[in-house]
C-alpha cells in the first residue's frame, strides 16, 4: 500500500512515550545501570532516581512517597490490592464495569471461597453509591470501584464511595488507571486506601505501574523474594521505567493546570459534535454522565463495530471497540452490556480516545473518514432498515 | 498500487489459504487477511467426553497465530473477526438438530453458505475489499454466452471441494476467487515453500472443525448439557424393513444410513441402517442389498449454471463427499426442489447430505437430500 497518514485515537489502550520521558529514562539503561539495592556508587545512583520518581508519583496522587509501591503495571497493582487483602471467607464489593484485572480477580476470589458482589450501573454507566452501601456485609473486607471507566470514560462517584467505606471501616481500592493525568487525583479526597495507576496510559512505557498503599495497610505480597518496595513487592526495580513513570507523573501533574487537559477536551467535543452532526442513528454512550475529557464512546446503529474499526484502520485511523480476546477477535463489551445496551448496539459501539499528541487537524481528517466508512458499512449491512 | 483491486483473503492458518495470500501478494494486489473466530474451543472443554486442553482446529489460538505470522511474513494487514454468534445459530444448532432428527448433516456447507460467502464476504466489502479469496479447491468462470458465473471442479480431483460449495449464488461467485482451483496440492505446498511460509508442511485438517477429536456424539452430549438440556429422548426401536421389531437402540443420533457397526443385534448376515425415522424414533435395518435406491428428493436447491430448468436434465449426481457423480435425470419440481432419478441404484442415499448435480466438471446446482 502507498503512503497512509496514520492517526492514533486509541490512547486509552496505550499512549506514545513522550520525548522528555524517553530522555529521562535513557541513561538508566547503560550509563546508570546499578541495582538500586546495591550499596556502592552505582546502586546509590539508581536508588536516588527510584526515590525521586516515587516522590513525583506521590505528588500526583497526593500521598507520601513511602505509600507508593511500583509494580509491573495496572493489572499487578489491582491484583496486589485485591489478593493482598481479601482472604477466604471475606466479602468483596466491586462493579460490573471494572477492568478485567479486577473482574477476573473477583472471579478467582470466588473460586477461593470468597464472596463477591458486583454492583450494577445505570444507563449512563454510573454506579449508585447507595448500591455499594446496601451491599455491605459484616465480612466485607474491600470495596474496589474504578475511578474512570476505560471504555466510556465515565467518572464514578469515588469520593462518596470512599466515605461509605470509611464509615463502614472497610478498605477502599480504586483503579485509577484511566483517570491518572486526566483528572486530579487526591487519595485523601477520595478517601481510598489503595489506588492503581499504569504508566503507559500517561505517556510512559508499558510494563510499569504503581499502587498507592495507605500507611498502615498490611498487604499480603503477591511475589516473594527480596525486601524491595518495603517488602510489598519483591523483585529488582525496573529502574528505567520507574524513572519514566516519575517523569510522566510530573508532566501529568502540570498538564492538569497548564491547559493540556482542556485542549484535549476541546478536541473531543469537536470530534463528537462533528460525528453526530453528520451521522444519524448515533449517540454517545454515557454522554450524560461526568466523563474524563479524552474519551468518546459512540454507537452507530446497524453496523458491527469490529468492521468499522477494521475499515478505519485500513484508512489510517486507529480506534477500538470492546475488549480483544486472546485470538484478537472482539467480544461484545461487558461495560456497554452492563449499561443496558442491546447486544447489537454494544457491538455497534466504537471508542475514540484522544491524547495530548493529537491535533485539531487530525480530528478534522478523522471527521472526513468516519461518516464515509459508516455509510459504506450501513449500505452493506443486513441490519440497516430499507429506506422507503 | 493504491487504486488496484483490494482483495480480502480468508485465512484459516492452514497451508492452502496461506498460500493463496502469498500468491496474490506476489501478484501485487492490495490484500487484507481475515480470520473468522467461529467457535470458542474452551466452551465445552472439560465437559464429559470433551478434551480438557483443547487442541482442536477451529479457531484454535495456534491457527490464529499461524495465520497472523503468515500475514506478517508477507506484509499484509490482518484481522480476526468474531462471528461466533452467527456460527452457532447457522451451523452448530442446525448440526445438532439434524442429528436429533435422524439426519446426517454437513456443517461445512452451512458454514460456506452462511458464514464464509455471506457474512465474511459482507465484512470484506464493508472494509473496502471487492473480492474474497479462499483456499478452496474449485474453479470459478464467467460464461459470457449464458451470462452466468460457473462453478467447476478443481484440477486436483482428489481435493475438489465443489460438493461443499453448491449453495453459492451468482452474486457470491462474482465476488469470489479460488486461486488454488487449477493447482495440485503438491504444487500448493511447493509454492508455500517457495514463499518461505513456515507452515508449508503443516498437516491438512480433516475433521469437523468444532468437534474436537471428531466424536460428534460426545459433542452433542456436551453441547446439550451446556444448554441445560439433557439429550432429548431419541432411543427407540430397531426394526426390519418389514416392520418387525428386532431390538432397541440407544438413540437415532447415533446412526447414519449405511452404518453397519454398533447396531447391537446379531444376525446371520450383516445388517445395515437403511433408514432413520425421526418422528417414530425408529431405526430401520436390513441387508446390504436393500441399501440401494434409485431416487431422491432434494430441497432448498440452488441452481448455478442455469436458472431453474424447465425440462428434465441428464446429469451426474454426487450424494456424498467421497462419491463419484452417478448418471441421473434431474427434474426441478418447484422453485427450490428437485427429484433425482439415478440410472443405476445408489448405495446409502442419506438424508441431510447434499445432492450436487454435475455436467462434466461444471456444477449445475445442488440441494439437500430430504
Residues of A in contact with B81 (CB under 8 A): 306-307, 310, 329-330
pLDDT digits (tens, 9 = 90+) for B15-47: 999 999 999 999 999 999 999 988 887 777 777
Cβ within 8 Å, pair B64-A328 = yes
Query: Which residue segments constitute the domains of chain A, with CATH numbers given?
Result: 7-16+258-380 (3.90.1150.10), 19-255 (3.40.640.10)
Between strands B354-359 and B362-369, the pairing is antiparallel
Closest-CA residue of A relative to B80 is A329
How far apart are alpha carbons B260 and B285 in whole angstroms? 9
How many residues does the structure list for chain A? 388
DSSP A385: P
- Residue ranges of chain A whose pLDDT lies below 50: 1, 388
| B56 confidence band (pLDDT: 50, 70, 90) | very low
Could you tell me which of A144, A120, A130 has the C-alpha nearest to residue A338?
Answer: A120
Residues of B in contact with A302 (CB under 8 A): none
Establish whether A114 is a catalytic residue: no
CATH topology of domain B294-369: Elongation Factor Tu (Ef-tu); domain 3 (2.40.30)
pLDDT digits (tens, 9 = 90+) for B208-244: 888 877 788 889 988 998 888 888 888 999 999 898 9
Residue A331: per-residue pLDDT: 73
Q: Are B195 and B26 in contact (CB under 8 A)?
A: yes
Place domain B233-286 in its CATH homologous superfamily: Adenine nucleotide alpha hydrolases-like domains (2.30.30.280)
Tell me the shortest Cα–Cα distance from B129 to chain A, in angstroms: 10
Tell me the shortest Cα–Cα distance from B40 to chain A, in angstroms: 10
Q: Are B318 and B361 in contact (CB under 8 A)?
A: no
pLDDT digits (tens, 9 = 90+) for B309-325: 999 999 999 999 989 99
B11 Cα distance to chain centroid: 17
DSSP B178: -
pLDDT digits (tens, 9 = 90+) for A61-97: 999 999 999 999 999 999 999 999 999 999 999 999 9
CA distances from A330 to A306, A310, B99, B209 (A): 7, 11, 31, 20
Cβ within 8 Å, pair A313-B77 = yes
| Helix (H), strand (E) at residue B272 | strand B272-277
Residue B232 burial (CB count, 10 A): 10
Q: Are B12 and B185 in contact (CB under 8 A)?
A: no
Tell me the shortest Cα–Cα distance from A330 to chain B, in angstroms: 6
Cβ within 8 Å, pair B82-A313 = no
B82 → closest Cβ in A311, A313, A331: A331
- Mean pLDDT (chain A) is 95
| Helix (H), strand (E) at residue B299 | strand B292-303
The grid coordinates of residue B283 equal 431405526
The grid coordinates of residue A278 equal 453528520
Residue A324: per-residue pLDDT: 62
Between strands B326-334 and B313-318, the pairing is antiparallel
Residues of A in contact with B127 (CB under 8 A): 307, 310-311, 314
Residue B2: per-residue pLDDT: 41
User: Which is higher by pLDDT, B53 or B271?
Assistant: B271
DSSP A386: P
Secondary structure (3-state) at A65? helix
Contacts 24+ apart (CB under 8 A), B259-264: B263/B238, B264/B238
Instruction: Characterize A5-18 residue by residue with b for buried, 16 or more Cβ atoms within 10 angstroms of its Cβ, and e for exposed.
Output: eebbbbbbbbbebb
Residues of B in contact with A314 (CB under 8 A): 32, 77, 127-128
pLDDT at B57 over 50: no
| B4 confidence band (pLDDT: 50, 70, 90) | confident
Cβ within 8 Å, pair A2-B32 = no
The grid coordinates of residue B257 equal 444410513
Residues carrying CATH 2.30.30.280, chain B: 233-286
Residues of B in contact with A331 (CB under 8 A): 82
Closest-CA residue of B relative to A303 is B126
CATH number of B6-135+179-214: 3.40.50.620
The grid coordinates of residue A239 equal 529502574
Closest-CA residue of A relative to B122 is A380
Backbone angles phi, psi at B343, to 5 degrees: -70, -40
Provide the total of helices (H) and of strands (E) in chain A, helices listed first: 15, 14
User: Which is higher by pLDDT, B200 or B336?
Assistant: B336
Backbone angles phi, psi at B37, to 5 degrees: -85, 110
Q: Are B322 and B258 in contact (CB under 8 A)?
A: no
B190 Cα distance to chain centroid: 26
Pick among B61, B79, B120 to test the A interface (most A CBs inside 10 A): B79
What pairs with residue A315 in β-bridges? none
How far apart are alpha carbons A304 and A333 in whole angstroms? 12
Secondary structure (3-state) at B116? helix
Secondary structure (3-state) at A282? strand
Pick among A304, A327, A347, A377 to test the B interface (most B CBs inside 10 A): A327
Closest-CA residue of A relative to B83 is A329
What is the pTM assigned to this prediction? 0.91
pLDDT digits (tens, 9 = 90+) for A285-297: 999 999 999 999 9
Cβ within 8 Å, pair A310-B37 = no
Q: Are B180 and B24 in contact (CB under 8 A)?
A: no
Ramachandran area for residue B364 (φ above 0: left; ψ -120 to 50: alpha; else beta) = alpha
What string of H, E and C letters represents the secondary structure of B227-278? CCCCCCCCCEEEEECCCCEEEEECCHHHCCCCCCCCCCCCCCCCCEEEEEEC
What average pLDDT does range B271-297 have in this prediction?
Answer: 93
Residues of A in contact with B125 (CB under 8 A): 380
> What ipTM was predicted for this assembly?
0.88
Residue A383 burial (CB count, 10 A): 12
pLDDT digits (tens, 9 = 90+) for B122-172: 999 999 999 999 999 999 999 999 999 999 999 999 999 999 999 999 999
Burial, A22: exposed, middle or buried (Cβ in 10 Å; 0-12, 13-18, 19+)? middle
Pick among B30, B39, B82 to test the A interface (most A CBs inside 10 A): B82
A-B contacts (CB, under 8 Å): 58
Residues carrying CATH 2.40.30.10, chain B: 294-369
Residues carrying CATH 3.40.50.620, chain B: 6-135+179-214
Residue A322: per-residue pLDDT: 67
Amino acid at each position: 500500500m502507498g503512503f497512509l497518514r496514520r492517526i492514533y485515537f486509541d490512547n486509552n489502550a496505550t499512549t506514545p512515550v513522550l520525548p522528555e520521558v524517553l530522555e529521562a529514562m535513557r541513561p538508566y539503561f547503560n550509563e546508570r545501570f546499578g541495582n538500586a539495592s546495591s550499596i556502592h556508587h552505582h546502586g546509590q545512583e539508581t536508588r536516588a532516581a527510584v526515590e525521586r520518581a516515587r516522590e513525583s508519583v506521590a505528588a500526583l496522587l497526593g500521598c507520601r512517597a513511602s505509600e507508593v509501591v511500583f509494580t509491573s503495571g495496572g493489572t499487578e497493582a489491582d491484583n496486589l490490592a485485591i489478593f493482598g487483602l481479601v482472604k477466604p471467607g471475606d466479602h468483596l464489593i466491586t462493579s460490573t464495569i471494572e477492568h478485567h484485572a479486577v473482574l477476573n480477580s473477583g472471579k478467582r476470589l470466588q473460586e477461593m471461597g470468597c464472596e463477591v458482589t458486583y454492583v450494577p450501573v445505570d444507563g449512563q454507566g454510573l454506579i449508585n453509591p447507595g448500591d455499594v452501601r446496601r451491599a455491605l456485609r459484616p465480612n466485607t473486607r474491600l470495596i474496589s470501584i474504578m475511578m474512570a471507566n476505560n471504555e466510556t470514560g465515565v467518572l464514578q462517584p469515588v469520593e462518596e464511595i470512599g466515605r461509605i467505606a470509611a464509615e463502614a471501616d472497610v478498605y477502599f481500592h480504586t483503579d485509577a488507571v484511566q483517570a491518572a493525568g486526566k483528572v486530579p487525583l487526591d487519595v485523601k479526597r477520595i478517601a481510598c486506601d489503595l489506588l492503581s495507576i499504569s504508566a503507559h496510559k500517561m505517556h510512559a512505557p508499558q510494563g510499569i505501574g504503581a499502587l498507592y498503599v495507605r500507611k498502615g495497610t498490611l498487604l499480603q505480597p503477591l511475589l516473594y523474594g527480596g525486601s524491595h518496595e518495603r517488602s510489598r513487592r519483591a523483585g529488582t526495580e525496573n529502574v528505567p521505567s520507574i524513572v519514566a513513570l516519575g517523569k510522566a507523573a510530573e508532566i501529568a501533574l502540570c498538564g492538569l493546570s497548564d491547559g493540556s487537559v482542556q485542549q484535549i477536551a476541546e478536541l473531543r467535543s469537536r470530534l463528537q459534535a462533528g460525528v453526530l452532526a453528520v451521522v444519524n442513528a448515533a449517540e454517545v454512550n454515557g454522554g450524560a454522565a461526568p466523563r474524563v475529557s479524552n474519551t468518546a464512546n459512540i454507537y452507530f446503529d446497524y453496523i458491527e463495530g469490529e468492521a468499522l474499526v477494521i475499515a478505519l484502520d485500513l484508512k489510517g485511523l486507529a480506534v477500538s471497540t470492546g475488549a480483544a480476546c486472546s485470538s484478537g477477535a472482539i467480544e461484545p463489551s461487558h461495560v456497554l452490556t452492563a449499561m443496558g445496551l442491546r447486544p447489537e448496539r454494544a457491538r455497534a459501539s466504537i471508542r475514540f480516545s484522544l491524547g495530548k499528541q493529537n491535533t485539531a487537524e487530525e480530528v478534522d481528517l478523522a471527521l472526513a473518514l468516519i461518516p464515509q466508512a459508516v455509510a459504506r458499512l450501513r449500505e452493506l449491512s443486513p441490519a440497516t432498515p430499507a429506506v422507503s | 498500487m493504491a487504486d488496484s483491486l483490494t482483495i480480502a483473503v480468508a485465512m484459516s492458518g492452514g497451508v492452502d489459504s496461506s498460500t493463496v495470500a502469498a500468491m496474490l501478494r506476489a501478484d501485487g494486489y492490495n490484500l487484507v487477511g481475515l480470520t473468522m473466530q467461529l467457535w470458542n474451543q474452551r466452551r465445552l472443554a472439560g465437559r464429559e467426553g470433551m478434551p480438557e486442553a483443547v487442541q482442536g482446529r477451529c479457531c484454535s489460538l495456534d491457527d490464529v497465530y499461524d495465520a497472523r505470522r503468515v500475514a506478517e511474513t508477507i506484509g499484509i494487514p490482518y484481522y480476526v473477526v468474531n462471528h461466533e454468534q452467527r456460527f452457532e445459530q447457522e451451523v452448530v444448532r442446525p448440526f445438532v438438530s439434524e442429528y436429533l432428527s435422524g439426519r446426517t448433516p454437513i456443517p461445512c456447507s452451512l458454514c460456506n453458505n452462511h458464514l464464509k460467502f455471506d457474512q465474511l464476504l459482507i465484512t470484506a466489502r464493508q472494509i473496502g475489499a471487492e473480492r474474497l479469496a479462499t483456499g478452496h479447491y474449485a474453479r470459478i468462470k464467467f460464461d459470457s454466452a449464458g451470462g452466468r458465473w460457473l462453478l467447476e471442479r478443481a484440477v486436483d480431483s482428489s481435493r475438489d471441494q465443489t460438493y461443499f460449495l453448491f449453495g453459492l449464488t451468482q452474486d457470491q461467485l462474482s465476488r469470489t476467487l479460488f486461486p488454488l482451483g487449477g493447482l495440485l496440492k503438491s504444487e500448493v505446498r511447493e509454492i508455500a515453500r517457495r514463499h518461505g511460509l513456515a507452515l508449508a508442511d503443516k498437516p491438512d485438517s480433516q475433521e469437523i472443525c468444532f468437534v474436537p477429536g471428531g466424536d460428534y456424539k460426545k459433542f452433542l452430549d456436551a453441547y446439550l448439557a451446556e444448554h441445560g438440556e439433557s439429550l432429548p429422548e431419541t432411543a427407540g426401536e430397531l426394526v426390519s424393513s418389514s416392520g418387525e421389531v428386532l431390538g432397541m437402540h440407544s438413540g437415532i443420533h447415533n446412526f447414519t444410513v449405511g452404518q453397519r457397526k454398533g447396531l447391537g443385534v446379531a444376525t446371520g448376515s450383516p445388517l445395515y441402517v437403511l433408514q432413520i425415522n425421526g418422528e417414530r424414533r425408529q431405526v430401520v435395518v436390513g441387508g446390504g442389498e436393500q441399501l440401494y435406491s434409485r431416487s431422491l428428493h432434494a430441497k432448498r436447491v440452488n441452481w448455478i449454471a442455469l436458472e431453474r430448468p424447465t425440462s428434465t436434465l441428464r446429469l451426474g449426481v454426487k450424494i456424498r463427499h467421497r462419491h463419484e457423480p452417478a448418471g441421473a435425470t434431474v427434474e426441478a419440481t418447484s422453485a427450490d426442489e428437485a427429484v433425482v432419478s439415478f440410472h443405476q441404484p445408489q448405495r446409502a442415499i442419506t438424508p441431510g447430505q447434499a445432492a450436487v448435480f454435475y455436467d462434466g466438471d461444471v456444477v449445475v446446482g445442488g440441494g439437500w437430500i430430504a
